[in-house]
Amino acid sequence: MRIEPKILLVGILAATQAFLPCSAQNPPTASPASAAQTAAANTTAPDDNARKAKALLDQMIQALGGEAYLGLQDLKQEGRTYSFFHGQPTGAGAPFWRFWKWPDKERLELTKQRDWVIIHNGDQGYEVTFRGVGPEDPKTFADYQRRRKFALEWVLRGWLRQPGIALFYEGPAIAAQKQAEQVTILNAKNEGVTIDIDGVTHLPIKKTFSWRDPADGQRNEESEIYENFKTVQGISTPLSITRMMNGDISNQRFISSVSYNQSLPDSMFQPSSGEKAKKK
């Protein structure tokens, strides 16, 4: 379930009104002691909701690997990626090699020859092709930056450590045809992420966030579905990731191998590194 800021604000106001003492809503009909006990019980209910959400998130982080997950510094992946347009595949897919380093470095090598390289380093994006090195397309880079800000690892390792975070337990849900418990995380900027957590394995099933297009003001919803988990170096790793845009599949990645904490050098995430790799 998604929560937009306006809807969330209305929900919070409604919940606050519901938990007001009886004397603030209707004339008292119970004894003073009874009314006080009821008010005290109701006052703790919002805190109980946040504690429930936090407990589910703690369980999920432990299922992902606990300290091993929270402390991972880099990763290397190999697999195959498929692009979609309006839910339809646009080709036969391509092999990929992905290198990622916490918190904001990523290198993606595509094609069998690995001659198409996309590099992200902080607030810079580069593309390396047979034509040489150039800046990444501005819209493509903006889309990547938005996904990175709402990435699961950044939400769990970044957002949850920031002040002003609010947690909401949304209740049972169905996500990717699985029974789930749903939790929403809202940061101090009023940006929200909803995570569907498997009630049995406690692993994430789906992550959803929404945003408004600055060009037309339309609301868009992006989701990621995580499947086929495998434990690698103590970290539960989804080997299948499906990205959705407004209910349609936009990308799928199938990972064939993954390794963590390989001490990847920062030079891998500079465009000059891409030129050297192409020449080799």
Q: What is the mean pLDDT of each run of 10 residues along the chain (280 residues)?
A: 39 36 35 35 68 97 98 97 87 93 97 95 95 94 96 96 95 96 97 97 98 91 98 98 96 98 96 50
Domains of the chain with CATH codes: 63-279 (2.50.20.10)
User: Residue 157's closest CA among 224, 68, 219?
Assistant: 68
Extract the tokens encoding 198.
């498997």
Predicted local distance difference test score (pLDDT) of residue 152: 97
Q: C-alpha angle with apex 234: 232 to 239, nearest 5 degrees?
A: 35
Looking at residue 44, its pLDDT comes to 42
pLDDT score, position 46:
77
Encoding tokens for residue 95? 């092999």
Beta-strand relationship, 248-260 and 235-245: antiparallel
Query: Quick check: helix, strand or coil at residue 182?
Result: strand
At residue 92, the pLDDT reads 81
CA-based nearest residue to 259, from 116, 93, 79, 60: 79
Global pTM exceeds 0.85 = no
Residue 278: name the closest of 119, 168, 88, 150 by CA.
119
Distance CA 179, CA 101 (A): 33
The residues pairing with 95 across neighbouring beta strands, listed in sequence order, are 80
